[in-house]
Chains A and B, each alone.
Chain A
Amino acid sequence: MIKKEQKELARWAMQYALKKGCQECRVGIYSGSESSFEVRDTQLDKLQQAEENQMVIYLFVDGRYGSISTNRMERRELEKFIADGIASVRFLAEDSARKLPDPSLYFSGSEASLELYDPKFQSVSADEKLKLAKLAAAEIYGSDARIISVSSAYGDNESFAYIVSSNGFEGESTTSSFGVSVSVSVKGDGDARPESYWYDETLTWESLRKQGIGKRALERALRKMGQTKIQSGKYPMLVENMAVRTILSPLMSAINGSAIQQKNSFLLDKVGQKVVSEKMTLIDNPLLPKALGAKCFDREGIATKKRNVFENGVLKTYFIDSYIANKLNMPPTTGSPSVLYFDKGDGTQQELMAKMGNGILVTGFNGGNCNSSTGNFSYGIEGFLIENGEPKRPISEMNITGNMLTLWSNLSGIGTDALKSSSWQMPSLLFDAVDFSGL
């Protein structure tokens, strides 16, 4: 929890900034603690524990703007830091779009209904944590002669935020998270050592998967044995749920307010237009209880709400914070998506594979990028050649190349296997006619 003294310090810092020349001010205090245990093969490799604090102060001075942040919480030091910060901001050019949000947009109430914090956080002992990390590795260590190395990790953290602003916002947020992961390297053909990993992450200790992570990681590594590249060509592409984030990110960046305001987006002026497949209804729901990434208010204090990002292929919204909103003369939404998911799915990954018939299942991306202005992309991939709905052989060292709007217009199937261990709860997705480069 944020301590009473920390709240007092935040309010004091705000008042001090106002006294020293700010017309408006917002202060955030963030604190947290974390612990982690890493195991290699059978032995503890690394343990780490720490606590940290940070104060961020947003200064609005004579129509000018700057921010300062520090982990030094002594008032004497803060006084000098704030005064120096204000002095620096005064040198800048004016920017009339910089002001605190309209108070009517602020969240008021409690986030308790989201259940983002496990009250048992403090009661899990170090021994239990270490035991879990060791068990995750022990699940597979020595179980297959091809295993070269197994690394597992348990990690948790609790984080607290308190934000106060001079035009009336006061908000508090508390979250916890627990995670376990296993990565494994196996002896492949020649010198190759295929590796893979699996993990789970949840908001509560109870809901954390405590078994099966190691086995899943090993399966994923072993199935990579004998990867080769195949002939270049256009193939249908099924992207596994774990990998979808890579190709969704450019769409989310393209509807970020800053990109729109800078006219540097392939989705500029596209709200209300059908830009992707009509199968695509993508929802941002920051208010989904017990979900990683859920929140009642953004970093400015603006209340979040559920909204459709794409609806039957039509772009419904940009993500704009109050600064960009003022610049564009539009109402603010929030600066970024929180919890993203598709409204419905067509079937399991296996069923999508059967529907695809012949094509490529992409299980991971390797590098690559997307041009934010044009949507042109190119990414390295690995995965499997699929024939008659079944994996035929593992492939790697190939690229996919194309344009984001064409790719997403070719979305033809949505999985029912959305991953809950991430704030973007992505299912496996099927696309038609993607350019693969290999031999």
Chain B
Amino acid sequence: MSCSRREFLKTGGMLAGAALIPGAALLESFSPKELTLQWVLDHFKVTENELRKVMAIAMENGGDYADIFFEHTLDSMLVLRDGKVNSTSSNIDFGVGIRVIKGDQTGYAYTENVTMSDMIRAARTAAKIANGITGVKTTQIKEFPLKKNYYNVISSWEETAVKAKMPFLQKVNDKIFSLDKRVSRVIVSQTDSTSYILFFNSDGVLMHDYRPMGTLGATCIMEQKGQIENGRSARAYRMGAEFLTDDLVETISQEAVKQTALMFDAIKPKGGEMPVVMGAGGSGILLHEAIGHAFEADFNRKNTSIFADKLGKKVCDASISVLDDGTIPFNRGAVNMDDEGVLGQKTYIIKDGVLNSYLHDRISAKHYGVAPTGNGRRQSFRFTPIPRMRATYMENGNAREEDMIASVKRGIFVDNFTNGQVQIGAGDFTFFVKSGYLIEDGKLTRPIKDINIIGNGPKALSDITMVANNYKMDNGTWTCGKDGQSCPVTCGMPSVLVSKLTVGGENA
């Protein structure tokens, strides 16, 4: 059902029913280095002539534009529970989505079979969005090689057996138990995903991509004098199996234990409006919720965003620049090409305090008469692309974090989050703080936990009074939900001081 909210979860990243099998059921022996266009065409058992024929049918009612998106995705998951790696799952998803655009209107159909008759039927369904008649046009095919590969794979997940992955889960479990006697339970999960993408559109653009993703995460449960607390740590990258290392095991184990242990001493602050110092890294959730979604061009095209008429206007201090970037190597939000054949790129949303660009898909770019920004993304071939973020972050400023903390008489410092949400039209956004600290008389004092923070996007932006020089990307398993579609993203930030936000808490 239609719902105006966008949700953003860090704790996700676990694919339902995913896991491990070399999905080679469909594949011949394969190495990503040999991935040529012809190989991908053969993989989907389709020829350039057949693509042209399906495209002609998609466009036969007078559509302005059409595209055909083939996807073959192999997901796998391993879980350690009660001390042993004792569950695995794997999933194959395969199909093709055909989209026809007429003006701002979209016709869409997909099929799980790539036979000509199935594809032609899907093309006819999608073509119904247009109601004119045109002669059959032949599309000249132009292969567009990717300019850069931001996620080169050394060891493909498909060639990595369960046996090779299992020890990393076991090591995380053993390490966590060794670090603290209060640990009572540990769940470790590892997921990986490999997608083959073939894309063809009515401009003749023919492209392909190979998209890896690996995650490793642990939930730690501790007991102390009858009190139970939990904490979690996870990492995600667009990488092959070389993602799994002993260093990663160490990082995740230490972080999960530290987060959980902190909770025993933490309190809830007294609620109300106060200054908030947002620590470097995961605080990028502020950008994602407070401004990122509101700058996605579909909301602006429909005039429903609070930023709908702010392009070119000053929205915050001139020291602030915010980017959405698909070109960070191995980043969870990286895209060689988006899901409508636009090359990965780096987009300044805010440049020196001025709203510089929305995040566009093809429909909104055409509406605004600008070039698409490579933000047209989709969960899978079952969905139409819509404007989505990639890696969203703020550039460094000149302040120091310690000076920000010292400037606050009564407030909080936060750096660990689980989820957030925004209402696009009202601009109200929230994020949930798993842990942080009270600031009293310019010093960090008691730890705090489990509180929600709420603010208003434009106000919060203009209330950022200091930006530090300690930028950090958060490489957790961030997943963004919008219009029923999930998308992998990341966020990052240097520490910033927001002079006023509403912090949840108890009243005396």
Interface residues of A (CB under 8 A from B): 40, 43-53, 56, 64-72, 77-78, 80-81, 84-85, 88-89, 91-95, 98, 148-149, 151-153, 155, 179, 181-183, 185, 188, 191-197, 199, 201, 224, 227, 229, 232-234, 262-264, 266, 268, 327, 366-374, 376-380, 382, 396-402, 435-439
Contacts and interface: CB of A to CB of B under 8 A. Distances in A.
B507 A379 contact: no
A401 B268 contact: yes
Task: For chain B, give the interface size range.
Answer: 35 or more
Given A68-B90, A437-B502, 11 more contacts: A66-B19, A72-B26, A88-B20, A195-B4, A373-B228, A373-B230, A379-B504, A380-B454, A382-B426, A401-B505, A437-B507
Nearest to B306: A191
B425 A192 contact: yes
A64 B82 CA distance: 14
16 contacts: A46-B129, A50-B111, A68-B91, A72-B92, A84-B25, A93-B84, A94-B86, A191-B310, A264-B219, A366-B5, A366-B428, A367-B420, A367-B421, A373-B228, A399-B503, A439-B272
B268 A376 contact: yes
Contact of A44 (B87, B94, B95, B129): B129
The list of the 10 closest CB pairs from A to B, nearest first, reads A437-B271, A367-B430, A399-B504, A367-B421, A193-B425, A93-B84, A378-B504, A378-B452, A66-B88, A380-B430
A195 B425 contact: yes
B497 interface: no
Interface string B297-311: 000001111111010
B505 A91 contact: no
Interface string B440-454: 000000000111111
A153 B166 CA distance: 46
Nearest to A43: B105
Interface string B218-242: 0101010001111000000000000
Contact of A85 (B90, B425, B455): B90
Chain A binding site: helix, strand, loop or mixed by DSSP? strand
Nearest to B310: A191
A371 B230 contact: yes
Contacts of A234: 507
B93 interface: yes
A188 B304 CA distance: 11
Interface in B427-473: 427-432, 449-456, 458
Contacts of A232: 271-272, 507
A243 B25 CA distance: 45
Contacts of A327: 82
A68 B18 CA distance: 8
A264 B507 contact: no
Contacts of B4: 183, 195-197
Interface string B17-54: 10111111110000000000000000000000000000
B312 to A, nearest CB: 15
A263 B106 CA distance: 49
A80 B25 contact: yes
Given A89-B88, A368-B430, A372-B230, A262 B3 contact: no
B211 interface: no
A325 B184 CA distance: 20
A367 B89 CA distance: 31
B88 A88 contact: yes
Given A46-B108, A185-B303, A193-B306, A366 B502 contact: no
Contacts of A436: 271, 507
A366 B502 CA distance: 13
B263 to A, nearest CB: 8
A435 B161 contact: no
B473 to A, nearest CB: 23
A301 B86 CA distance: 23
Given A197-B3, A401-B451, A71 B272 contact: no
A376 B450 contact: yes
B452 A88 contact: no
A367 B228 contact: no
B506 A81 contact: no
Interface of B: 1-5, 7, 17, 19-26, 81-82, 84-95, 104-112, 125, 128-129, 161-163, 166, 184-185, 187, 219, 221, 223, 227-230, 268, 271-273, 289, 302-308, 310, 382, 384, 418-421, 423-432, 449-456, 458, 502-507
B268 A49 contact: no
Nearest to A381: B454
Contacts of A188: 425-426
Nearest to B451: A378
Contacts of A193: 303-306, 308, 424-426
Contacts of A367: 7, 289, 419-421, 429-432, 452, 454
Nearest to B164: A91
A71 B95 contact: yes
B92 A262 contact: no
A65 B86 contact: yes
Contacts of A47: 106-108, 128-129
B1 A181 contact: yes
Contacts of B23: 81
Contacts of B430: 366-368, 380, 399
A45 B1 contact: no
Contacts of A374: 227-229, 450
B194 to A, nearest CB: 14
B416 to A, nearest CB: 12
Greatest chain A CB density within 10 A among B88, B94, B110 is at B88
B452 A379 contact: yes
Nearest to B19: A66
B79 to A, nearest CB: 10
A369 B418 contact: yes
B86 A95 contact: yes
A348 to B, nearest CB: 24
Contacts of A70: 25, 91-94
Given A47-B107, A71-B95, A81 B504 contact: no
A137 to B, nearest CB: 11
A403 B91 CA distance: 38
Contacts of B17: 56, 67, 69
B424 A195 contact: yes
B88 A382 contact: no
Nearest to B289: A367
For B112, B128, B185, B504, which residue has the most chain A Cβ atoms within 10 angstroms? B504
A195 to B, nearest CB: 4
A78 to B, nearest CB: 8
Nearest to A233: B507
Contacts of B26: 72, 77
A263 B94 contact: no
B94 A71 contact: yes
A255 to B, nearest CB: 15
Given A68-B21, A69-B91, A195-B4, A46 B451 contact: no
B426 A195 contact: yes
Contacts of B452: 367-369, 378-380, 399, 401
Contacts of B306: 191-193
A137 B412 CA distance: 45
A388 to B, nearest CB: 23
Given A77-B25, A366-B428, A46 B106 contact: yes
A148 B303 contact: yes
A153 B125 CA distance: 18
B358 to A, nearest CB: 16
Contacts of B81: 262
Contacts of B307: 191
B456 to A, nearest CB: 6
B125 A49 contact: yes
Contact of B87 (A81, A92, A372): A92
